[in-house]
Structure 1
């Protein structure tokens, strides 16, 4: 507890021509102890901060502050943590700009500049890049508080800051749910999209790299144990045949499992199982197939058998059928639905009927993680909501498993770490989600530090993020939060006891954040750098007053319906072809 001196009871102090406000929640104080200076953060001010044994008169006439000690400095070197504690009646000083430069003025190699102090905008706030990535982080704030801009600003500060000291060899993977970052970071990133625009690469996620249970849950729906066994046994058989036809490095038949990332054809799986389920037989032993037309796996045309008949003459149904015709119909429907081409028809990674593919997973990972740019943006805005969470889980699993098992190699996460930025994290990391995405994120949060995989969660509803995951985020960047439940979750996740500081969350300005945790030297209220207009995400609010004052132009709602039907914002009704020919200057005679 610190008591304010009567000489500055006005709350203002002038030092070296600068005016300082004293006793503000979130401001810093300095306690000199010999050759050392202890630094603390004002967490609470007023009667609530007074000692319990203080009388009413003393509380009324004095001003009390509760200070949380956070670090110490010897000379010009500041460190978190304390080697000693102050005594009763030790003097407490205002932290001036010179002191702030001792704390935040360090320019070590692992420091990145992300903004300025709200109380002193000429003091740059820096975060430890090592702690920000390996100890995980979370950017939390209500809609309109500046989350997207903060993400873009921090990513740009990491890989391409204005002082040209960025991490050119960085490896950042950003999951863009709403398509906000493609244009904002296009100069730094390679963009993959399910609905690619000019300059973007198509996004493919091979279905055969997914776990069998997750894949079947999507393409066949719920299965009982007998049905699941029938289909997974067939998948295991087909993967074994594919492996026998073309060997894969690091895998043999003895170590093959149904979840091994080995190509197999879903078309052939559908055809073989449909043929087995619908077959009819005749003859004394009921073993002669009554096939009329063979069908075609490539075109998903089912084989046709003679209908079964009652009595002893036949034809007879296949008594070994597993009753999965409804599930097979759903599988065929999924394969024919063009919205799912990015996962069920993954371009050069789509297997032929015999399981062979043009490309393997090494080229997929090289495209995502091994290109010459420090940032990869996966634009998922064109992905149907029914498969979005499953797709995110698949991407995270492929990336994490690859880096986990390659941790002894130069491409692995230990020697070249990866930061995964997860937008709208509450959609797939909620406590009751129980999906593969939540499981992978939990695994990254718990053990990713050891294998060079860091997570940055971005969410407007921290109360809906699994508490285990949020507690593993060593650095919290909290923007304006109005919901009391969300603020309570942030308070509970803070590594420092700064509940008073968190009371400022509802009144923070747009783009202003309270940063606390491993990467910050001290818990601090910061104005995040605002990127240039051309580098800001497409997440700003529409200008209602300006739009409604403008006279309406000619509108074509046929274009609206075309985009709706195409599930693509750039769809057109009439594809206008403009003939273009080169123009040459002809010399004019004098």
Structure 2
């Protein structure tokens, strides 16, 4: 089916066309010239009328012209060149010949394009529901992914579909679940392994604890006192003689005893004050009986760290601790030349609320380790997925390392600019489509797919929490319940022989 004809000057990357019927943005088209069959995507459409131009200011004149000049309407569009269908989608070396017909791409061609080695089925084409959209699992796991959308656009459903598809390959997935959406989820392809947000201090190093207590790098005397107490506290835990699960409290008590013996050394008191300030924040973080979080990760399961009941400071510590230890463990395996162990240690980390854990304009330990995993993780089998409804507040450095993106509806211009600056493959024309996407529709691009794609994401077939609350129905039911109870009470009174 012919949808247009190329006009004007063409280039190796795009062509302009005129059509006598309205195609759809996001539709794939083909152009045949110079012995090539070139695939393209319609990225821009304009409908106009030369007679009804913006220079006419007379309303009655416009009214008359519009009655007689409807047939003068034209449709002009722009096609982005994606590659030669017969040459592995390599970009052609010669531009399209003006006058070339533009045809809708056959479904058979598109189905072949979306055939990949390890398919992850996200959904189907927005404009051709009979064509499934499969992306390749390996580039997602090794080159990272960002899932970005405004609130209510279908972000959580997309994450759930992705998790379920990855579970079909027995991939160990680790979700930093900020709102408890996934702890009770049910995935058709695997179980959920809920991990408590607790750290056994014996798995934390001195510098992690020192940072919690806010002992600066130049506080050498304070650091010496704290190190001595830290070592003693760790020994007490190992020997099973610790009197509390609060690791900071143990250190505090040791320093308090030292203070008495050394005549209230000011530096010791200063350290105690810093510990005292930190204890309110981190009192519920430690558990001397907890295992190593990394050893509790299970293959073929969605490992969910439930962070819904902890504050941001504790979440920051947990994220940085887990990512740091995971990277170190994988580096040790790589250093020892144990490729099988390195692959066994592979994990795909999904970070919900990435704008909290990796803020754009504020430093945090979790942000630094997210950046490290984003830059180095692919060499050590560690994948990363950043999920956010506020892209503009996600760290630009980390976001720019996401070589794959699933972008649902985004309306705010600042969000759009931030995402575009982090993705070299996101054109302005595609950015312009983001506000018009319906719920569950997304632009998919990156190394996981051979071509940029407009996708209708599948509806997740399992069960999860996190949907919007039906507040109106709740209060309607509550009033109905109150009225029923009142009628029952009146009936009970009448049955007892009393009268109003």
TM-score (norm 1): 0.67
Aligned equivalents of 1:344, 1:551: Cα separation in 2? 41
- 2:94 alignment counterpart: 85
Unaligned runs of 5+ in 2: 1-9, 49-71, 240-245, 483-500
1:491 pairs with one of 396, 406, 420:
420
Alignment partner of 1:511 is 2:493? no
Q: Distance in 2 between matches of 1:514 and 1:143?
A: 16
Asked whether the equivalents of residues 185 and 465 of structure 2 are also in contact (C-alpha less than 8 Å), the reply is yes
Looking at structure 2, the residues matched to 537 and 82 of structure 1 have their Cα atoms a distance apart, in angstroms, of 43
- Supply the distance in 1 between the matched residues of 2:345 and 2:313 (Cα, whole angstroms): 34
Unaligned runs of 5+ in 1: 12-21, 49-59, 160-165, 194-201, 246-263, 281-316, 350-360, 555-590
Equivalences for 1:463-482 in 2 at 5 Å? 463-482=392-411
Deviations 1:460-507 (A, max 9, x none): 111111111111111110111121110111222333252112212112
Alignment-derived partner of residue 72 in structure 1: 84
Aligned to 1:113: 121
Structure 1 residues 201-221: Cα deviation after superposition (integer angstroms, max 9, x where no partner) = x44322343343442343467
Does structure 1 retain, via aligned residues, the 8 Å contact 2:172–2:299? no
Residue 229 in 1 paired to residue 223 in 2? yes
Question: How far apart are residue 330 of structure 1 and its match?
Answer: 5.5
Give CA-to-partner distance per residue, 1:114-169, whole Å, 9 cap, x none. 1011101111001011111111110000111111111001111222xxxxxx31x3
Name the SS for the 2:85 alignment partner: strand
Q: When you count helix as a share of all residues, which structure comes out higher?
A: 2
Where does residue 185 of structure 2 map in the other structure?
184
Q: What residue is the counterpart of 1:101 in the other structure?
A: 111
The whole-number CA distance in structure 1 between the counterparts of 2:476 and 2:230 is 64
Separation in 2, partners of 1:386, 1:82:
49
Give matches, 1:426-575, under 5 Å: 426-532=355-461, 535-552=462-479, 553=481
1:30 paired residue number: 30
> Alignment partner of 1:430: what SS?
coil
Match of 1:157 among 165, 177, 193: 165
Equivalent pair of 1:115/1:126 in contact (CA under 8 Å): yes
Report the equivalent of 1:269: 251
Superposed displacement of residue 517, structure 1: 1.2
Q: Partner residue of 2:289?
A: 347
Alpha-carbon distance, 1:100 to partner: 2.1
Alpha-carbon distance, 1:269 to partner: 3.3
Per the alignment, residue 498 of structure 2 pairs with: none
Equivalent-residue separation in structure 1 for 2:97 and 2:36 (angstroms): 17
> Offset of 1:418 from its aligned partner?
1.9
Name the SS of the counterpart of 2:122 in structure 1.
strand
What value does the CA root-mean-square deviation take over the aligned residues? 3.4
**Cα gap change, 1:185/1:216 in structure 2, threshold over 3 Å: closer, same or farther?**
farther
Equivalent pairs, count: 438
The 3-state SS of whatever aligns with 1:503 is: helix
- d(CA) in 2 for partners of 1:411, 1:117: 38
Secondary structure of 1:547's counterpart equals helix
1:439–1:235 Cα change, 3 Å: farther
CA distance in 2, matches of 1:220, 1:467: 27
Contact 1:190 1:373 in 2 (8 A): no
Normalised by the length of structure 2, the TM-score is 0.78
Deviation at 1:381, TM superposition (A): 0.9
Q: 1:326 to 1:463 in 2, by over 3 A?
A: same
